[in-house]
Structure 1
Amino acid sequence: MSAKHLNYLSSEQALADFAVLIKDLKKTLPGAQKSPVIAIGGSYGGMLAAWLRMKYPSSVAGALAASAPILQFIVPCGEFYRVVTHDFTISSANCSSSIRRSWPAIERFAATAEGLQWMSLTFGLCAPLKSPEDVFAFKAWLQETWVNLAMVDYPYEANFLQPLPAWPVKVACKHLQFTAGASDRELLYGISQAVRVYYNHTGAAACLNTSQTGTSSLGYLGWFYQSCTEMVMPMCTDGIQDMFEPEPWNFQAFSDECFNTFGVRPRQDWAETVYGGRDIRAHSNIIFSNGNLDPWISGGVTHSMSESVVAILVDGGAHHLDLRYNNEHDPESVIKTRTLEVRYFKEWIRQAARTLRSES
């Protein structure tokens, strides 16, 4: 990807493309000219769905924005990782505290060549840990693993990011029920087994690659570029209200990383400026659905703004569970959510039909 082409990678360009596409489809598809359109999306796609209704209300009659963190730009930087921690805390006693204690344990093992070798073998790493830089990357890999497990904590087997068992956080936490008296070796062995729930549930992996987290199919490079231009989402950890090593949000360091990678610097407040932040009451016909297990609920709209800008909470739901196929293990909350969403869709279609009749 060249910077020349990455310039087109923006939410504003995507919304304009969708608006043009809808107009063209209505012209070219038989019978589609007067058909109402509803935008549906999850995660970033959910953000685009909501923004499409806001910016191009004549193009779509309504929008379902599932797990869409449109407020992540302006919420406290630690909220995201607090939700991750809460997921592990409620899944098993001592689970999140075991993960919190693993970081200094890793550092103690990393202080010797024997410790580095033991960790490399115990975790079954494809490339052994040899340097402080390797250890830093290893810990970042672990942190993202815990985040991803929380995000896809579905009540049935799924392979959205990786092939995973039902309730993967609970499965991982079975290996992390240590009390404060556990040795570093016991603790890190448990961590190695918990990590395998995410990376080797099928047993097919010969080794674990710390340069991969199972999200490559989601277009990480593209998202990083957008983070470096318009999607600035402050993230931080404190090691107290969350289970991670303390890391403050440093906008200048982030900006420098963006410049070194892409030759651009982020517009820190642009997303709030162009899309309105919390002040979206003037809009209409948007559903914001969020699962309370999904870390991205930290930046989601969780309270209804009006009769037609509504928020739905999916109890026991992870990342856009309501958009996934029906499953016999679906919680009652997501079944009711889908029914309510369809009810809104039908009402929006009726509204659009009435508007068309009044204009003809």
Structure 2
Amino acid sequence: MKTLLVFQIFVSAAFGWRVFHLGKFWGPKTPVQPASSFPDLWFDQKLDHFDPTNSETWKQRYFVNDNYYEKGGPVFLMIGGEGKADPIWMEQGMWVEYAKQFKALCFQVEHRFYGKSHPTKDMSVKNLVYLSSEQALADLSFFIRSMNKKYSLSKRVQWVTFGGSYPGSLSAWMRLKYPHLVHAAVSASGPLLAVADFSEYMRVVRDSLATHSEECVTSVQEANRQLDILLRHRIGQQKVDKLFNLCDTVVDVSKNDISNLYENLAGNFAGVVQYNKDNRLFEGAKDANITIDVVCDVMTNSSIGSAITRYAAVNDLLLKTYEQKCLDYKYDNMIKGYQNVSWDSSTAAGGRQWMYQTCTEFGFYQTSTQPTQPFGNQFPLDFFIQQCSDIYGPRYNKELLSSGILRTNVMYGALQVEVNRVVFVHGSIDPWHALGITKSDNNDAPAIYINGTAHCANMYPESSADPPQLTAARHSITGLLAQWLQPSSRSVRFRPM
């Protein structure tokens, strides 16, 4: 999913979100590994899998790594998400370690409409009708069938899908919808319940900040109370301009501008919480060292000044980290960015596309309606639905969203999804666990809930700083894969974790 705002946090292909609407796009990551290590490959894909009269095709991007493959081994498929597929994942990440152990052939497939996978000439509304999770799953099914033929794989070959965040949902749904093609699935941090008002997101952010101290939460709450007061008069508004280094003054601005400002500032903390201590440096994440402890140390340091001054200091820290000169909170600027249908636009990195999916399939809007969260009450559900209408047209309203969410939950089963050979993995710090399966009585579709870890933590490369419960979770996944894969794979010895 400022994913899941113009945007604020943007993660790699295998992972997601804050709903892209974190307010601003922080810019491209610095590549760690040259893309030529695993060159772009292209697959002829159908434009519409559900209209037999439509014969249009397009080129879908993918990568392959056969370095660890031995004949008779399984095939691992990393599912791309709401961003550009990154070839660094073809040689790093836990799924690669699993591939080494199980002698697997590895593919990564980029999601339609993201990265370089452009099914249509632009992202106009008439073309975005071909963007959906349902079409993406069908893409993967046709890809699997094609690779089985291309690589002359056995009819008994066992495919395992991997994904984190939205791709984590897709991974579970592939096993649900295409069980004849997908033998097992690892679903990390995948939200399975579509909901318009995802108010619990900010509640979990609050609880996660409290793992540092209640004083941190209280200071954030007090900062927002002080911001409320300053915004009521001109002198206070001018102070807010300077404190938060705003690109435009807040004097005489619209209600939507104020809502966007509050949501941007809340997003500073939400983004840090979501990826807290995840081992993301290998993929060039600039904010990987900014953790809950870092922002809460600022918020509880009274020598900096008042609570709102500390709140502004956190904002300044993130602006500098992402080399932003000022905070652009203007609602119209955000909307104009999303309205650009060109593949050359800044929002083509994923913002316009993902926002469309939230407006038509998922919702996932991280509102301020949860009463115990500390970020004020200025960004309710209507603020997000208004964005759908302003970006895509008046038809994209509350009724369409409600219908789309109902369809998604009926089609995939939400939290009552009936699958086997799927493991659901979540971290307690990650707000997205609130929409996922964290407990399961089904031994063949177990849930692993990792206390103290954040978004997709189990999928990143191992680190000496990993807590023991994260190491244990990865070892459990290895055990499940050994159990689910063919007998010849079960003899693989676990390496020490």
Query: TM-score scaled to structure 1, two decimals?
Result: 0.84
2:201 corresponds to: 80
1:300 corresponds to: 436
Q: Using the alignment, how far apart are the partners of 1:103 and 1:14 within structure 2? A: 40
Taking structure 1 as reference, are residues 249 and 168 closer, same or farther at Cα in structure 2, changes over 3 Å only?
A: same
Residue identity matched to 1:207: C
2:452 corresponds to: 316
Task: Specify the SS of the correspondent of 1:86.
Answer: helix
Does the 8 Å CA contact 1:156/1:167 hold for their aligned counterparts?
Answer: no
Task: Specify the SS of the correspondent of 2:131.
Answer: coil
Deviation at 1:248, TM superposition (A): 8.6
Q: How big is each residue's C-alpha offset from its partner over 1:216-264, in whole Å with a ceiling of 9 and x where there is no partner?
A: 686222121111112133654346421122369657x765653443243
2:70 corresponds to: none
**1:92-241 matched pairs, under 5 angstroms:** 92-133=213-254, 134-154=257-277, 158=281, 163-164=286-287, 166=289, 168-177=291-300, 186-201=306-321, 204-210=323-329, 219-233=350-364, 235-238=366-369, 240-241=371-372
**1:31-42 matched pairs, under 5 angstroms:** 31=153, 34-42=156-164
Q: Using the alignment, how far apart are the partners of 1:242 and 1:256 within structure 2? A: 23
Residue identity matched to 1:174: D
Greater mean alpha carbon deviation, residues 239-248 or residues 338-347: 239-248
Does the 8 Å CA contact 1:26/1:34 hold for their aligned counterparts?
Answer: no
Residue identity matched to 2:359: C
Fraction of identical pairs, as percent: 24
2:391 corresponds to: 261
Please give the root-mean-square deviation of Cα atoms over the aligned residues, in Å: 3.1
Taking structure 1 as reference, are residues 218 and 145 closer, same or farther at Cα in structure 2, changes over 3 Å only?
A: farther
Higher strand share: 2
Higher helix share: 1
Taking structure 1 as reference, are residues 219 and 159 closer, same or farther at Cα in structure 2, changes over 3 Å only?
A: farther
Residue identity matched to 2:362: M
Instruction: State whether structure 2 residue 192 is matched by structure 1 residue 62.
Output: no
Residue identity matched to 1:137: N
Q: How big is each residue's C-alpha offset from its partner over 1:242-290, in whole Å with a ceiling of 9 and x where there is no partner?
A: 1122369657x7656534432432224111110112322x420111000
Instruction: State whether structure 2 residue 283 is matched by structure 1 residue 283.
Output: no
Residue identity matched to 1:314: I
Runs of 5+ consecutive residues of structure 2 not aligned to the other structure:
1-122, 335-345, 491-497
Task: Specify the SS of the correspondent of 2:175.
Answer: helix
Q: Using the alignment, how far apart are the partners of 1:346 and 1:217 within structure 2? A: 40
* Residues matched between the structures, number: 345
1:25 corresponds to: 147
Does the 8 Å CA contact 1:83/1:294 hold for their aligned counterparts?
Answer: yes
Taking structure 1 as reference, are residues 229 and 205 closer, same or farther at Cα in structure 2, changes over 3 Å only?
A: closer
Instruction: State whether structure 2 residue 483 is matched by structure 1 residue 347.
Output: yes
Which of 451, 455, 468 aligns to 1:332? It is 468
Instruction: State whether structure 2 residue 4 is matched by structure 1 residue 4.
Output: no
Q: Using the alignment, how far apart are the partners of 1:283 and 1:239 within structure 2? A: 32
Q: How big is each residue's C-alpha offset from its partner over 1:39-95, in whole Å with a ceiling of 9 and x where there is no partner?
A: 000000000000000000111111111000102539x84322210100112213411
Q: Using the alignment, how far apart are the partners of 2:463 and 2:477 within structure 1? A: 17
Runs of 5+ consecutive residues of structure 1 not aligned to the other structure:
355-360
Does the 8 Å CA contact 2:158/2:485 hold for their aligned counterparts?
Answer: yes
Q: Using the alignment, how far apart are the partners of 2:347 and 2:465 within structure 1? A: 28
Does the 8 Å CA contact 1:155/1:329 hold for their aligned counterparts?
Answer: no
Q: How big is each residue's C-alpha offset from its partner over 1:303-325, in whole Å with a ceiling of 9 and x where there is no partner?
A: 11411111001121110011111
Task: Specify the SS of the correspondent of 1:313.
Answer: strand
Does the 8 Å CA contact 2:165/2:456 hold for their aligned counterparts?
Answer: yes
Taking structure 1 as reference, are residues 155 and 231 closer, same or farther at Cα in structure 2, changes over 3 Å only?
A: closer
Deviation at 1:166, TM superposition (A): 3.6
Residue identity matched to 1:113: R
Task: Specify the SS of the correspondent of 1:245.
Answer: coil
Q: Using the alignment, how far apart are the partners of 1:256 and 1:129 within structure 2? A: 21
Residue identity matched to 2:356: Y
Residue identity matched to 1:312: I
Taking structure 1 as reference, are residues 218 and 48 closer, same or farther at Cα in structure 2, changes over 3 Å only?
A: farther
